[in-house]
Amino acid sequence: MRYVSTRGQTGPLGFSDAVATGLAPDGGLFLPESMPDISGLLPRLERLSYADLCFEFMRGFATDVPADTLRQIVNRSYAGFAHADTAPLVRLDERTHVLELFHGPTLAFKDFALQLLGNLYEHQCRTRGESINVLGATSGDTGAAAIHGLLGKPGTAIFILYPDGRVSPLQERQMTCTGAANVHALAVDGTFDDAQAALKEIFGDQDFRLRHRLSAVNSINLARVLAQCVYYLFAWLRLPAAERGNVEFVVPTGNFGNVLAGWWLQQMGVPIRGFKVATNQNDILYRLFTTGEYRVGDVAPSLAPSMDIQVASNFERFIYSQVGRDPAQVRAIMAAFKATGAWKFEHFDRGTFSASRCTDAEIPGIIQRVHRQYGYVADPHTACAFKELNPDRVSVVLSTASPAKFPDTIKAAIGLEPTHPSLETLKSRPVVKHRLPATAAAIRAYVDTHAV
Ligand SMILES: *Cc1c(COP(=O)(O)O)cnc(C)c1O
């Protein structure tokens, strides 16, 4: 399997090169040259454990990683999850399920992709005899999950930028209290989008990038999207056969990485009825799916901070298919969007996507309602997805974080303070972070002195 860039001026590359490169040098995002049809495999995949399913799925994509190595990488990646099912599917009523994606080491869904990515990087360092420096920006959970994916791995260093004061105290502790020498938590003076813009500039500097063997860890990495396809497939296979064809996955959405993975799986021939893109008050994607116009707004910090973005970095992969996989049109749209902050699609095809938007004023009430109705405690991101479920569908709500990561919001809503032992131990450890301006120059200077 080979991978092309949405902008058509890089590759095609093999899996390992596309993963190591992250963002394509032409500024685009990697995707499979053609989507394989896996529908014929489905009967064989029934009842596999999570790790076995992941191996069977990934071997069709990671075709340049030896099978026994891939199996070890996958097994190691999910061994640390605290639930026997890895991604348990919990039934709330006859039409509603929750897919719990928060049983990994940092208690959010990003562990699924970043545990795997960390082990893939380690494998690449070993086979190529080279070190690797991983650089990413986070609005909260990505950074923690990326750090825990690479924690203490020889030959690697990880630099994570996050908006100072705009991630939750517990999220910050997950990034800054690791005690690992290869971890650099960089608190920048600005928003997540400022950090991401600085990062884009740094990755655009080919010399710098090659000199430090830099790799991106933000949600655009090909391996992340593929790893996330697996839990949609796992959930689909766990549904009763009668419900499978009518299922709508309801996905708390920020950068469009999570929901993109489900949509790819649908394109691979898995009969999923649809997807709901559930945003918080930072609603660029809600507006897109309801009006056909993609227009940047200001970021307003919210109770669901991991969705506080206005430019959905993975969205370019969706645009690619909107324009009939024509890279020239992708380049034109991205250039116009960069220049004006907006793009209006003439013939927007929303396909099987619908969208909802949830303001901060609504989140506590939804947490209360879900708790009253089902006895279930949803974190503030998951609560956004519960805003309105389609009564004609079987809904699988993706629960992207443990409520224990957001104790204040939960306590204010239902009077209970959820806790988790791994978070309690963090509270006694020292915070180690470095404050920097949100400029490419400052970040570049820091990486220059600390890269491995
Ligand atoms: C990252 C994150 C999201 C948003 O996921 P995207 O892939 O950026 O759409 C939602 N909820 C939580 C808890 C997250 O950490």
CATH of the domain at 309: 3.40.50.1100
Q: In the structure, what pLDDT confidence band is assigned to residue 346 with cuts at 50, 70 and 90? A: confident
* Distance of CA 253 from the midpoint of ligand 1 (Å): 6
How many other β-carbons are positioned within 10 Å of the β-carbon of residue 128? 13
Give yes or no: 200 in active site: no
Residue 198 CA, distance from chain mean position: 20
Burial class (CB in 10 A: 0-12, 13-18, 19+), 104: buried
Q: How far apart are the C-alpha atoms of 138 and 148, rounded to whole Å?
A: 14
Q: Where are the beta strands (DSSP E) in 222-341?
A: 247-252, 274-279, 293-295
Cα 400 to middle of ligand 1, angstroms? 7
The DSSP-derived string for 236-248 is HHHS-HHHHTTEE
- Average pLDDT (63-82) is 97
Total count of residues recorded for the chain: 452
Predicted pLDDT of residue 21: 81
Residue with the bigger pLDDT between 63 and 299: it is 63
Band (169; pLDDT cuts 50, 70, 90):
confident
Residue 224 has pLDDT above 80, yes or no: yes
Closest residue by Cα to atom 1, ligand 1, is: 306
Q: What does the pLDDT look like over 380-396, one tens digit per residue?
A: 999 999 999 999 999 99
- Name the packing angle between helices 407-414 and 363-374 (round to 10°): 70
State the chain's mean pLDDT as an integer: 94
3-state secondary structure of 406: coil
**In a mutational test of the pocket of ligand 1, which residue from 166, 175, 258 has the highest number of ligand atoms less than 8 Å from its CB?**
258
Cβ-Cβ contacts under 8 Å for 287 (sequence gap 6 or more): 293, 294, 295
Contact 6, 327 (CB under 8 A): yes
Tell me whether residue 348 is exposed, middle or buried, using C-beta atoms within 10 angstroms of its C-beta: 0 to 12, 13 to 18, 19 or more. middle
How many domains are there within the chain?
1
- pTM for the predicted model, two decimal places: 0.94
Amino acid type, 307: M
Selection from 48, 108, 126, 113 nearest residue 78 by Cα: 113
Residue 126 located in a structural domain: no
In a domain, residue 78? The reply is no
Residue listed under structure tokens 């999950």: 145
Best residue among 306, 379, 384 to mutate for probing ligand 1, ranked by most atoms within 8 Å of CB: 306
Domain encompassing residue 232: 84-107+223-420
The residue ranking higher by pLDDT, 20 or 356, is 356
Give the separation between CA 356 and CA 398, rounded to whole angstroms.
Answer: 14
Structure token digits, residue 395? 């809904």
Spatial neighbors of 370 by CB under 8 A, at least 6 apart, are: 376, 377, 378, 383, 386
Counting from 1 in the atom list of ligand 1, the atom nearest the Cα of 255 is 8
**Which atom of ligand 1 sits closest to the CA of residue 252?**
10
Supply the pLDDT for residue 260. 97
Q: What residues are paired with 394 via a beta bridge?
A: 247
- Distance (angstroms) between ligand 1 centre and the Cα of 166 equals 15
Quote the DSSP letter at residue 22: -
Assess if residue 28 is contained within a domain.
Answer: no
64-68, 139-143, 265-269, 410-414: least confident range: 139-143
Q: Are strands 214-216 and 247-252 parallel, antiparallel or unpaired?
A: unpaired
Ligand 1, CB within 6 Å, residue ranges? 108, 110, 141-142, 219, 252-258, 306-307, 381, 400-401
Which residues are CB-neighbours of 294 under 8 A, at least 6 positions away?
284, 287, 288, 315, 337, 342, 343, 344, 345
| Total Cβ atoms within 10 A of residue 210 | 10
* Cβ neighbourhood burial of 248 (10 Å; 0-12, 13-18, 19+): buried
The pLDDT of residue 215 is: 84
DSSP state of 67: H
Reply yes or no on whether the pLDDT at 219 is more than 80: no
Q: Is residue 422 very low, low, confident or very high in pLDDT (cuts 50, 70, 90)?
A: confident
The 10s digit of each residue's pLDDT in 77-97 is: 999 999 999 999 999 999 999
- Asked whether residue 197 is assigned to any structural domain, the reply reads no
Transcribe 335-370 into DSSP letters: HHHHHHSEEE-SS---TTEEEEE--TTTHHHHHHHH
Is the predicted pLDDT of residue 142 greater than 90, yes or no?
A: no
What is the pLDDT confidence band of residue 218, given thresholds at 50, 70 and 90? low
Does residue 129 lie in a domain region?
no
- pLDDT over 70 for what percent of the chain? 100
Compute, in angstroms, the gap from residue 258 CA to the centroid of ligand 1: 7
Q: Are strands 214-216 and 183-189 parallel, antiparallel or unpaired?
A: unpaired
Q: Residue 166: inside a domain, yes or no? A: no
The per-residue pLDDT for range 423-443, each reduced to its tens digit, is: 888 888 999 999 999 999 999
153 is a domain residue: no
How far is the centre of ligand 1, averaged over its atoms, from the C-alpha of 46 (Å)?
28
180: phi > 0 → left, psi -120 to 50 → alpha, else beta; which? beta
